[in-house]
Amino acid sequence: MFAAKVKKTQTKLRYGVKGKQIKFFDAQGVDELVSICMTLAQELWVVKERLATVEAAAAKKGVILGDEVEGYAFTPEQRAVMEEEKAKFIDRVFFTLREQSEALEIDAKDEPDPPKLP
Amino acid sequence: MTENVDHDLKVSYTRDETARQHFVSGMRSYILNHLAGNLRTVYAKKVEPAFKNKNKRAPKTAPEIHKALKDETVFKFYSALRCNTQEMVWRSVIPGVEREVDELAMRAKVLNQSDEKAKGTVRTDPKLQIPRNVSELDVHLMPGGYHEERVAGDVSQGAIYDNGLSVFAMGLLGPRMDDITQSVSTFFAKRYPDFKPRRILDLGCSIGHSSLPWKERYPEAEVFGIDVGAPLVRYAHARAQSYGVTAHFEQKDAENTGFADESFDVIYSCMFLHEVPKRGIRNIFKEARRLLKPGGVMLHYELPPNKMLTAYDGFYLDWDSFYNKEPYYKPFRDMDPEEECKVAGFKTSKFFQYVVPSMSFYGEKAVTEAVSHTKTEGDSNVGRFADGVRWYTFGAWKQ
């Protein structure tokens, strides 16, 4: 049904929310720290889910991983992929800091206000 | 693909992206079921007694409770985690959509032009003025809202909404994320067994998940969905085509649809009005009355009005209005649905409101049982998006 060849456009979508940033804590920077901690927790979960998958897949083949993981050396190609993944990982964890500066670049002067806080 | 997006516009995600989505759903469940409970305990055991001590009475209104709670650490963490999780919902699905922007547009185009499985239609209107509540706001913290477009025939905001909803729903909305309309339309068909609508219109239909259950309930009827977002109506139609359901989608503003007078039997909306300013809601009710045939019905699934809830439950639901970029949510919930139907010209005696159990949570039998005894007051689960949710619906018949 979808036989047509697609022309790729390198389109970038927006990840950050435009307009006023919502804050909860009085001490400067705490909101950002919460965001960063949450992303770290998320990334830790990603690792745990992947590790569980690797262990389950290996066990299915009768391979119990142990020393092999400890002594493993990546090839330069594998290392390059890891470097790229690491950069993306850091960007995701610290996303909240990027979002703040990006939000300044999007015109959102006419954004409707929330109701007045009690 | 995300859990509930199984049609031809599904997006491929890597294992790590999927794990990120799992985390977000888990966080939401933790916040809405557990942290929300902690918040209520701190209120009941600490904040309310302190308020009573100082004022010689309990807080009477939602804003009083909000004011008393907002400096508590538990409230700040509950709120900060909820906002972050909400943003993470969208961020967890954007990468796959971004990779497949062009592919999705092509697949939507093919589906929209095909009459293989269904014979629906779709029409966009590039001249349509996008209302400020959509164009200027990343509503519920969703980057790009319902309308942003980047490539020809773009459906990416539809894909973000669909996949995001799948992560957001934590399984509460059923396999096609249409539990609200499945529950409401089932209830409605059982409550009014003699009513046989021929033309049904879904306002602010987004990806059409609230439109299609009407076709299931009334297979003879023609079903229409309108939305101001072009990517949304393109996506809604392609999704319907993929599922083999014939429905018609148009890019239109619900305040001024351009449809003929008395051309529909049912005017429906699902989770739509609370994203519209008061003036717009009033225009929509008037427009709905104009579009209805005599004997037709206007029916909205919505968040319950504040006057139906305790002060605490009112405070709890209004949270989104202050912190989730949903500024019209509280003003809507402060409105009186019965009064607004009357202002639009519906007779008070023709007004109705029901609380309908979630069909995917409680089962169809519970929906059938609710037909004979629905209660609307003092129910903490109404409109509260967590385990055991019950849906609030209201409307009026046109004489």
Between chains, do B22 and A53 touch, taking CB under 8 Å as contact? Answer: no
Q: What is the domain extent for residue B373?
A: 1-399
Partners of A105 on chain B (C-beta within 8 Å) are none
- A106 and B138 Cβ atoms separated by less than 8 Å: no
DSSP single-letter state for residue B267: E
Look at A98-107, B304-313, B327-336 and tell me which has the smallest mean pLDDT.
A98-107
- B233 and B126 Cβ atoms separated by less than 8 Å: no
When CB atoms are compared, the residue of A6, A14, A112 closest to B143 is A14
Q: Per the structure, how many domains does chain B have? A: 1
For residue A118, the SS3 value is coil
pLDDT score recorded for residue B179? 95
φ, ψ (nearest 5 deg) of residue B85? -65, -40
- Closest chain A C-alpha to B201 CA, distance in angstroms: 28
User: If you average pLDDT over every residue of chain B, what do you get?
Assistant: 94
Restricting to B residues 326-355, those with a Cβ less than 8 Å away from any Cβ of A are 326-328, 330-331
Beta-bridge partners for B201: B224, B267
Restricting to A residues 5-34, those with a Cβ less than 8 Å away from any Cβ of B are 6-9, 11-19, 22, 24-25, 31, 34
Sign of the dihedral defined by the CA atoms of residues A117, B316, A26, B28, in that order: negative
Between chains, do A19 and B19 touch, taking CB under 8 Å as contact? Answer: no
Whether B377 shows a pLDDT value over 60: the answer reads no
* Interface pTM, i.e. ipTM: 0.78
Long-range CB contacts (< 8 A, 24+ apart) of B133-137? B133/A112, B133/B275, B133/B276, B133/B277, B133/B280, B133/B328, B134/B228, B134/B229, B136/A19, B136/A108, B136/A110, B136/A111, B136/A112, B137/A19, B137/A111, B137/A112, B137/B325, B137/B327
- B23 and A45 Cβ atoms separated by less than 8 Å: yes
Whether A117 shows a pLDDT value over 60: the answer reads yes
User: If you average pLDDT over every residue of chain A, what do you get?
Assistant: 87
The confidence band for B245, taking pLDDT boundaries of 50, 70 and 90, is very high
For residue B226, give the amino acid letter. Answer: I
- In chain A, which ranges are continuous DSSP H helix? 30-60, 67-70, 76-93, 95-104
Between chains, do A9 and B151 touch, taking CB under 8 Å as contact? Answer: yes
- A1 and B110 Cβ atoms separated by less than 8 Å: yes
Look at A44-53, A102-111, B189-198, B369-378 and tell me which has the smallest mean pLDDT.
B369-378
pLDDT score recorded for residue A58? 87
Between chains, do B102 and A39 touch, taking CB under 8 Å as contact? Answer: no
Between chains, do B321 and A114 touch, taking CB under 8 Å as contact? Answer: yes
When CB atoms are compared, the residue of B64, B77, B133 closest to A112 is B133
CATH number, position B292 = 3.40.50.150
Q: Does B262 touch chain A (CB under 8 A)?
A: no
Residue range B271-295: mean pLDDT, rounded: 97
Whether B74 shows a pLDDT value over 60: the answer reads yes
Q: What is the pLDDT of residues A26-41, one digit of tens each?
A: 999 999 999 999 999 9
Partners of B60 on chain A (C-beta within 8 Å) are none
Residue range B124-128: mean pLDDT, rounded: 98
pLDDT score recorded for residue B329? 94
Compute the distance between CA of residue B200 and CA of residue B212 in angstroms, rounded to an integer: 10
Which residue's structure tokens are 């456009």? A9
Q: Does B99 touch chain A (CB under 8 A)?
A: no
The confidence band for B374, taking pLDDT boundaries of 50, 70 and 90, is low
- In B265-352, which ranges are continuous DSSP H helix? 278-291, 311-323, 329-334, 337-343
Partners of A9 on chain B (C-beta within 8 Å) are 101-102, 150-151
**pTM: predicted TM-score of the whole model, two decimal places:** 0.91
Partners of A6 on chain B (C-beta within 8 Å) are 102-103, 106
Compute the distance between CA of residue A70 and CA of residue B200 in angstroms, rounded to an integer: 63
Whether B388 shows a pLDDT value over 80: the answer reads no
Whether B15 shows a pLDDT value over 80: the answer reads yes
pLDDT score recorded for residue B378? 55
pLDDT score recorded for residue B189? 95
Beta-bridge partners for B299: B268, B395
Partners of B23 on chain A (C-beta within 8 Å) are 41-42, 45-46
Compute the distance between CA of residue B138 and CA of residue A27 in angstroms, rounded to an integer: 26
For residue B186, the SS3 value is helix
Q: What is the pLDDT of residues A63-82, one digit of tens each?
A: 877 677 777 888 889 888 88
- Closest chain A C-alpha to B287 CA, distance in angstroms: 24
- B288 and B298 Cβ atoms separated by less than 8 Å: yes
CA atoms within a 13 Å half-sphere pointing along the CA-CB vector of B271: 21
Between chains, do A45 and B102 touch, taking CB under 8 Å as contact? Answer: no
Between chains, do A113 and B83 touch, taking CB under 8 Å as contact? Answer: no
Restricting to B residues 285-324, those with a Cβ less than 8 Å away from any Cβ of A are 321-323
pLDDT score recorded for residue B322? 97
Residue range B78-88: mean pLDDT, rounded: 96
